[in-house]
Amino acid sequence: MAEEGSKRDSIKMNMKGCQTNNGFVQNEDIPELDLDPGSSEHILGPEEPNAKNIQPYAGMPKEVLFQFSGQARYRVPREILFWLVVVSVLVLIGATIAIIAISPKCLDWWQAGPMYQIYPRSFKDSDKDGNGDLKGIQDKLDYITTLNIKTIWITSFYKSSLRDFRYGVEDFREIDPIFGTMEDFENLLAAIHDKGLKLIIDFIPNHTSDKHAWFQLSRTRTGKYTDYYIWHDCAHENGITTPPNNWLSVYGNSSWHFDEVRNQCYFHQFLKEQPDLNFRNPDVQEEIKEIMQFWLTKGVDGFSFNAVKFLLEAMHLRNEIQVNASQIPDTVTRYSELYHDFTTTQEGMHDLVRSFRQTMDKYSREPGRYRFLGTEAYAESIDRTMRYYGLSFIQEADFPFNNYFTTLDTLSGNTVYEVITAWMENMPEGKWPNWMTGGPDITRLTSRLGNQYVNIMNMLLFTLPGTPITYYGEEIGMGNILATNLNESYDVNTLLSKSPMQWDNSSNAGFSEGNHTWLPTSSDYHTVNVDVQKTQPTSALKLYQALSLLHANELLLSRGWFCLLRNDSRVLVYTRELDGIDRVFIVVLNFGESTLLNLQEMISGLPVRLSIKLSTNSASTGSQVDTRGIFLERGEGVLLEHKMKNLLHRQTAFRDRCFISSRACYSSALDILYSSC
């Protein structure tokens, strides 16, 4: 018994002298021993260490932790780290704001790469009926991506009674059956977007077909449709109409046609089957905007507005002035024989374009979904063309389509430079240029100028500032077909540049597996086709792909300055350069007879030898040339690369010969663009 009592006393003494290891306490809610404060017994006992000598340990209670956290050696580093984090965040915010403030506006999708214009009836036939269609375009999207295209532009595919299917729309909300169905269009649009491409489509607001429901209601004076078109009283006796004035159609003869149902004349700027809408009627304006919204809701990325200069006519109906005042008035039947001061570009026309822009802006608010607006400005003077850009505070078109190269019947360094400077000098500040050499109603470049200019004109388009626009087939050098055996009754001259796309050397050039095509294929399709050229290193297609790839990857081409070095009857020489990049591209194009050119006379300090980045003669690409004497054949062009720190646009001698579309500078240290140059 005495032995057991001794053990109990020993345990009791040990309990008095021990410390609790809180690292093993599982729950702080476990009740602790409640000792009487007055008790003479102490938990730590006589061997309790001084609190100042206790070192931090894992699992220490918060009372002990607070004792240490207040000490200077722990508090000061903690406060330093806190303020470092605060300062770092503020610096990052400030740097972000500064970068945003000095950064130039990013190029939008319609600026970042070339556009590819497709005439759908002639691109690819998918159902063997001899007519190209929307499914055919979808089948060839992979080919289009190999061209480094950013935007596909499809011309009119609306339901139409006209065989040409470009104008005279019967229903703006329907696909003409020859091209497919609305489901086909939706599938094509989805496929285009899946490829990372954008789609713009033609829109013709000026007129409709005479088969359109609006016109049929208007000629019977039904409700609001009574004044949807331009009607006027006119004399009509014995089958002969006396029009209200001498206004002429674009295709010749009077622009007034008598309608026996309404017993009045209606106005048509084009064919009599294409009556002009009355845009002074607010209901007409709303109808057009609703049609735009229909296609924007479908997901199209923009429109090319055709014939906008014809939207309004003078209300006074006075005769237009004859070009030749002495000509007998009754013999004036051709459109070119009048000054069209009362039927084109009337006051209020630009207000209509601005209203179209405002409608599209409602669909441009989603990031990355900006909607493009382009306007046709064919046969306009340069000052009138520039007005389509709008004002500095009121936007209209993103750009009017620049077709001035298509008006050139001969090429020289002088004529090409005149087209370039006319646009760049007159373009409003901050706007974006574009360049094209062909289109559906224009003689193809090969037939107009010669096949020796195919490569050099493509090099020109891709090395100028702005957006290059390619009409289908120009990348392989297609030409017009001959005007024989055409089954269409439409104006033959508008068909020659619309021949089927030449895909390979099989039957119908690979365009269709049917027994016939709506237009004959060109006789040269056995050698001028995609399949042949994609395997030939020296082909026009290979050069086009190299140029488009270079354009996509080089800031010098997409954002840089254009500076003229020389232009004469043969050559055009210019540079592309950008602040912050110590190299330049020198572009040398020869449009005339063979020539020997001394570049050292144009640029001081130029090395004797420079490397050729690209050449229209593929054998020369990658080689070097003697800058004291570069020999170029007719239609030959080279793109040279040169290290240069004193850029030409900074030099007084070249200041008046340098242009830029969207000013930017490059920081190699930060790898960013900034605007405060």
pLDDT at 54 over 80: no
188 falls within a domain: yes
**Is 473 in contact with 143 (CB distance < 8 Å)?**
no
- Same domain (yes/no): 212, 198: no
Q: What is the per-residue pLDDT for 163?
A: 60
Least confident of 98-107, 192-201, 380-389, 549-558: 98-107
- Same domain (yes/no): 90, 233: no
Average per-residue pLDDT for the chain: 89
Helices (H), 331-396: 349-361, 382-386
Residue 321 belongs to domain with CATH number = 3.90.400.10
Burial 507-530 (b: 16+ CB within 10 A, else e): ebbbbbeeeebbbbbbebbeebbb
**Is 375 in contact with 334 (CB distance < 8 Å)?**
no
Q: Which of 321, 343, 365 is the last residue of a domain?
A: 343
Query: Model confidence at 48, in pLDDT bands (50, 70, 90)?
Result: very low
- Same domain (yes/no): 336, 393: no
pLDDT at 566 over 90: yes
Higher pLDDT, residue 544 or 42:
544
**Is 369 in contact with 358 (CB distance < 8 Å)?**
no
Q: How many domains does the chain have?
A: 4
Distance CA 354, CA 395 (A): 7
pLDDT at 495 over 60: yes
Query: Model confidence at 664, in pLDDT bands (50, 70, 90)?
Result: confident
- Same domain (yes/no): 647, 659: yes
Residue 157 belongs to domain with CATH number = 3.20.20.80
| 3 state DSSP class of 122 | helix
Q: What DSSP assignment string belongs to 241-279?
A: EE-SS--B-TTSSBSEEEETTTTEEEE-SS-TTSPBB-T
- Report, as an integer, the average pLDDT of 446-466: 97
Higher pLDDT, residue 122 or 43:
122
> What domain range is 82 assigned to?
67-95
Count CB atoms within 10 A of the CB of residue 213. 12
Least confident of 386-390, 487-491, 534-538: 487-491
- Same domain (yes/no): 188, 327: no
9 falls within a domain: no
- Same domain (yes/no): 661, 537: no
Q: What is the per-residue pLDDT for 104?
A: 76
- Same domain (yes/no): 283, 330: no
- Same domain (yes/no): 514, 531: yes
- CA 602, distance to chain mean position in Å, is 34
Query: Model confidence at 52, in pLDDT bands (50, 70, 90)?
Result: low
132-156 pLDDT, tens digit each: 999 999 999 999 999 999 999 999 9
Q: What is the per-residue pLDDT for 106?
A: 84
Distance CA 445, CA 456 (A): 11
- Same domain (yes/no): 457, 514: yes
- Same domain (yes/no): 83, 193: no
Its pTM stands at 0.86
- Same domain (yes/no): 547, 618: no
8 falls within a domain: no
Distance CA 508, CA 499 (A): 11
**Is 398 in contact with 372 (CB distance < 8 Å)?**
yes
Distance CA 19, CA 22 (A): 9
Q: Which of 343, 361, 394 is the last residue of a domain?
A: 343
**Is 174 in contact with 158 (CB distance < 8 Å)?**
yes
- Same domain (yes/no): 434, 290: yes
Least confident of 68-82, 245-259, 383-397: 68-82
407 falls within a domain: yes
6 falls within a domain: no
405-440 pLDDT, tens digit each: 999 999 999 999 999 999 999 999 989 999 999 999
Count CB atoms within 10 A of the CB of residue 67. 14
2 falls within a domain: no
Query: Model confidence at 7, in pLDDT bands (50, 70, 90)?
Result: very low
